[in-house]
Chains A and B, each alone.
Chain A
Amino acid sequence: MSSVIQYILYLAVLVILAIPLGAYIKKVMSGEKTFLSRILTPCENAVYKVMRIKKDEQMNWKKYLISVLIFSGIGLVFLFLLQMLQGVLPFNPQGLAGVKWDLSFNTASSFVTNTNWQAYTGESTLSYLTQALGLTVQNFVSAATGIAVLFALIRGFTKVKTDGLGSFWVDMTRIMIHVLIPLNLVIAIALAGGGVIQNLKPAETVSLVEPIAVSADGEIIENADIDVDANTVTVDGQIIDGAQIVTEQFVPMGPAASQVAIKQTGTNGGGYMGVNSAHPLENPNPFTNILEMISLLLIPVALCFTFGMSIKNKKQGVAIFMAMFIMLAIALSIIAVNEQAATPQLAQNGAVDLSMVDQAGGNMEGKETRFGIATSSTWAAYTTAASNGSVNSMHDSYTPLGGMITMLQMQLGEVIFGGVGCGLYGMLAFAILTVFIAGLMVGRTPEFLGKKIEPYEMKWAVLVCLATPIAILVGTGIAAIVPSVPDSLTNTGAHGFSEILYAYSSCGGNNGSAFAGLNANTVFFNVSLGLVMLFVRFLPIIGTLAIAGSLAGKKRIATTAGTLSTTNALFVFLLIFIVLLVGALSFFPALSLGPIAEFFGSIA
């Protein structure tokens, strides 16, 4: 019972905080006064001065697009080079070497596209400089880019007979200065107070309470008598030759809290640590956890309300929100039920206690005690709904059906809230698809928000909606026949296939979470997943801006009695139906080979 209350409160807190933030973002983006204007507007103006641009500059859709692409391109090259050169650059107390070209390319694509897929392990691969000046910066600007493109689309709906969609530079500056930087300052400091590390010190070592014996070939020796002073390891009275005694533990250090804050709020998800927010130094307790978990969906939810207010049709924002929220709630319940029920393999005919008495119970493999089932399942649902991809438990160790839902949410194209900005413009493409199909059924020219939807918009909307399924299925298909791929798998059989499918779903949805048993740090995976991420990020951006440009040039048509309402329950239902239809038809065969096959195998 108490866990049900927990689920409900997690959802309630999220929505309650998102509504005022949505109103705030709307004000910021239209240049209205807010309670922070007095401090922040001078900073905003200073940026315009340095850049020598005007606040009211208008770009047509092509110029807006070129600005997005060039800006992202600069970020890609910068991050690529920064990683390769980190060995000779400062703020590298562990003396880490430069990152290999394929991993650098993968990580650069990953962060520039707001995916934050982790083929790297932060604490053993990246210097503090790379973390702060590389990853943190891209976490901020890739998120801001997504929101900017969303606003270009919103202007496409609101403007009439013009080609100006606003200025990419002004949109970026406003989001960065008024929204992302102040919000993350507060969250980062709260996280550091909660126990997330934030320093520039080299890694620490601490004593182990019980030393560990390791054999000459690197295996842990169990049941050994260890004499630290004499430096001997004895098993059953026999001294083991060449055995080593480990007496200290590695404790990573560095500026984590500042990066964790933006990785959550910007739906980035790339962890400071390899195991992301499951790591106790990245997410030490339920307080830091709720902060991080709410942050990860906060802006995507808020933007639904921002959208409604910006097009002066709050009901439309609520309708889109409802469609997303219903799908999220269903996904969350399925994950929660499956994880709490665990598997027969873990239950051992009752020898293992899976009850909820004085413990979380359920499938605790890959989950932290302090988070248990409810908090882990909620995070899993949030992070795969939003294209965040940070984790506080290991999805690879979820039950077959629980894990399948996390995968399915990404395969639906990251439109259940999705990434900041991109989730909503993705969903609006589905909305265009929906009004078109509904229009066909009733025999009317489809229109959406007072703009006629014609073949040009339809073509681009279909491309935006299909980019993800194409990238995932083609990528998985190719990977499944590459001979070196099976060496990367931790699990075999159906679950092994799921590991590959999950990787391409994650990158194809710009999500970034993983079935982490897959060793993705190989040239094949780094390059192929890198290309998938770039494809699914930028094709929808091109499509969205093309639609925006075309819509802005059209006249507004009056609402009549025959206009299909896009704010009522019927529309919400149709929208959900279309999203599920595209997802289910595309992925049912692949899911049958992976999680569904595994599920039936496990209960057989």
Chain B
Amino acid sequence: MKTLKSVLPRAAVIFLIFAILTGIVYTGVVTGIAQLIFPNQANGSIIEIDGKKYGCELLGQQYTDEGHMWGRIMNIDVSTYKDENGKMLMYAVPSNLSPASEEYETLVAERVEKLRAANPDMDDTAIPVDLVTCSGSGLDPHISPAAAEYQVARIAKARDISEQDVRDIIEKCTTGKFLGVFGEEAVNVLKVNLMLDGILQ
């Protein structure tokens, strides 16, 4: 009991000190420095042109037009988030499906069929895996260069432009591996589509 009495006030004081230090001071200092030096990154890398917000560079969207590049399979959620007027907002979540089940096999077979039908020029070329799978965040903004190349013929035909034009845009929107080794090469699908639409240069 005596120990308890001597420990309790000390524990409360040290908790208070660390709560202020890490909860308020640390969070505040990081926010201040980040806002000062990296305002664009710290505020969500939003693509804003002439006052209109055309998308978040880091968040995937769903594309189904033949003239747009398609991204990862999306599991869209329109029920969780609403704007201040109560209008539904789009977000997405991962599938969390096991890749070893029969249901999954059927699901992927349907996706393969749909992609084959949309990309007749590719005949029986095997479809890059990124195009038939849902991502980890559900909001993956990227696809692999192989998955982008698979769609070049379709996009060029739908827009009546040369395949080389499409490839040039893809190249501009591709980021390499970090230090040439870490991670994977990735094509930012939103940027490709905004460039195809002439919004982004």
**Interface set of A (CB-CB < 8 Å, partner B):** 2, 5-6, 9-10, 47, 50-51, 53, 62-63, 66-67, 70-71, 74-75, 78, 124, 132-134, 136-137, 139-141, 169, 172-173, 176, 181, 184-185, 188-189, 192-201, 203-210, 212, 214, 218, 220, 222-223, 244, 246, 248-251, 253, 255, 257-259, 261-262, 273-275, 278-281, 284-287, 289-290, 342-346, 348, 350-355, 357-372, 374-376, 391-394, 396-400, 490-491, 493, 495, 515-517, 598-599, 601-602
Contacts and interface: CB of A to CB of B under 8 A. Distances in A.
A353 B140 contact: no
A275 B24 contact: no
Given A209-B61, A286-B182, A369 B29 contact: no
A248 B87 contact: yes
B121 interface: no
A258 B30 contact: yes
Contacts of B47: 206
Given A368-B140, A370-B142, A370-B183, 12 more contacts: A199-B35, A206-B55, A209-B193, A212-B90, A279-B139, A284-B45, A286-B184, A358-B149, A369-B135, A370-B186, A375-B184, A397-B134
Contact of A495 (B58, B100, B137): B100
B53 to A, nearest CB: 4
B147 interface: yes
B161 interface: no
A517 to B, nearest CB: 3
A9 B97 contact: no
Interface string B74-86: 0010111101000
14 contacts: A5-B181, A62-B3, A176-B22, A184-B26, A246-B78, A246-B87, A275-B93, A348-B108, A353-B146, A358-B145, A364-B133, A366-B133, A369-B72, A375-B182
B130 interface: yes
A355 B95 CA distance: 23
Nearest to B199: A209
Given A2-B181, A197-B42, A281 B58 contact: yes
Most buried by B among A140, A365, A398: A365
Contact of A598 (B4, B91, B100): B100
A350 B126 contact: yes
Contacts of A350: 126
Given A189-B34, A209-B197, A345 B105 contact: yes
Contacts of B128: 352-353, 358-359
A116 B101 CA distance: 29
Contacts of B153: none
B90 to A, nearest CB: 5
B88 to A, nearest CB: 5
A255 B197 contact: no
A173 B11 CA distance: 12
B136 A198 contact: no
B182 A369 contact: no
B22 A169 contact: no
B44 A369 contact: no
A287 B21 CA distance: 28
A9 B22 contact: no
A491 to B, nearest CB: 5
Nearest to A289: B183
B173 interface: no
B109 interface: yes
Given A9-B181, A169-B10, A70 B4 contact: yes
Given A192-B30, A286-B182, A598-B100, A365 B134 contact: yes
Contact of A345 (B13, B101, B124): B101
B158 interface: no
Contacts of A124: 80-81
Interface string B24-46: 10110111011101100111111
Given A255-B31, A517-B97, A249 B55 contact: yes
Contacts of A204: 44, 46, 53, 56
B136 A275 contact: yes
